[in-house]
Amino acid sequence: MVALVVAAACVRLGIWQLERLAERRAYNAAVLSGLNRPPVHLDSLRGGEAENRYQRTVVEGEYDPAHELVLANRPRRGSPGVHILTPLRRTGHDSAVLVLRGWVYAPDATHAALEPWREDSARGIPGYVQAFDTSSGDAPAVLEERILRRLSYNNAAAAVPYPLMPYLVVLTSGGDSAAGVPPRLDPPSLGEGNHLSYAFQWFAFSAIAVAGTLVFLRHSRRHPAEHTDRFEPR
């Protein structure tokens, strides 16, 4: 009975890993669908982040460094750092769009010198639309220092004096080689992880539990005396 319970649990864990693999493949497909679409100007986007997520776009406007934010604890290639988030004001629009301009090194993964990385404006810089973090619970924001622990819309909107668009834009080029421009972020990862191999492992554990039980039962039926003697009280 115990072996059957163990086997059933292993099967359920294997199925769970396959479900996670399916979710990851659906995510990858959504990313590719957006990134493979032709880029459009930011002003031509309609709807919210759900309709435009991962849509390639180009941004133009004036940055507002006075209301710049940092997103803490963003490592890159093994180094601690932060992401720079700058509101972009566009002509003829009352609202701003938050632009993730790139990554900079921060020894404590929280505080970074932003002055060397100022950009006055964006003129046709490519990027893609990304959603705000919608996971439950807002991590505390240190608005006095303009530091966000989690990139939720509420935290970001509370830090600027004008409306924000319901999505942000992640810039993808124009960094690293240009002086005064922070390294842009790498494209979203499209790996599938180890879900498939983990699923096989759980199914194998289930098979081993069942096979081991069958072998034990067969042996106990052929040699009942051995098992009786083994457990007889003396």
Kindly give the pairing relationship between strand 69-71 and strand 147-148. parallel
> C-alpha 27: how far from its chain's center?
10
Helices (H) and strands (E) in the chain, counts: 5, 8
Alpha-carbon distance of 62 to 96, in angstroms, equals 10
Alpha-carbon distance of 174 to 124, in angstroms, equals 10
pLDDT tens digits, the chain, 234 residues: what are they? 677 788 889 889 989 988 888 888 887 887 787 778 888 888 877 766 677 788 888 889 999 999 999 999 999 989 999 999 999 999 888 999 999 999 999 999 999 989 899 998 888 888 999 988 876 555 556 666 789 988 889 889 988 999 999 899 999 875 445 567 898 887 777 777 888 888 888 888 888 888 877 777 777 777 665 555 555 555
Per-residue pLDDT, 108: 93
The first and second tokens of residue 111, run together, are: 């505080």
Q: From residue 72, how far is each of 45, 76, 114, 207 by CA, in Å? A: 29, 12, 13, 45
pTM: 0.75
7: Cβ contacts below 8 Å, ≥ 6 apart: 205, 206, 207, 209, 210
Q: Which residue is it, tokens 């009352």?
A: 94
- The answer to whether 61 and 79 have CB atoms below 8 angstroms apart is no
Per-residue pLDDT, 139: 58
Kindly give the pairing relationship between strand 56-63 and strand 121-130. antiparallel
Alpha-carbon distance of 88 to 69, in angstroms, equals 12
Q: pLDDT digit string (tens) for 149-180?
A: 888 898 899 889 999 998 999 998 754 455 67
Q: Spell out the alpha helix ranges (H) of the chain.
A: 2-35, 49-52, 153-158, 195-222, 224-231
Per-residue pLDDT, 87: 96
Per-residue pLDDT, 223: 63
Per-residue pLDDT, 135: 67
- The answer to whether 184 and 176 have CB atoms below 8 angstroms apart is yes
- CA angle (155, 63, 83) in 5-degree steps: 50
Backbone angles phi, psi at 188, to 5 degrees: -55, 140
- The answer to whether 77 and 104 have CB atoms below 8 angstroms apart is no
Find the radius of gyration of the CA atoms of the chain: 27
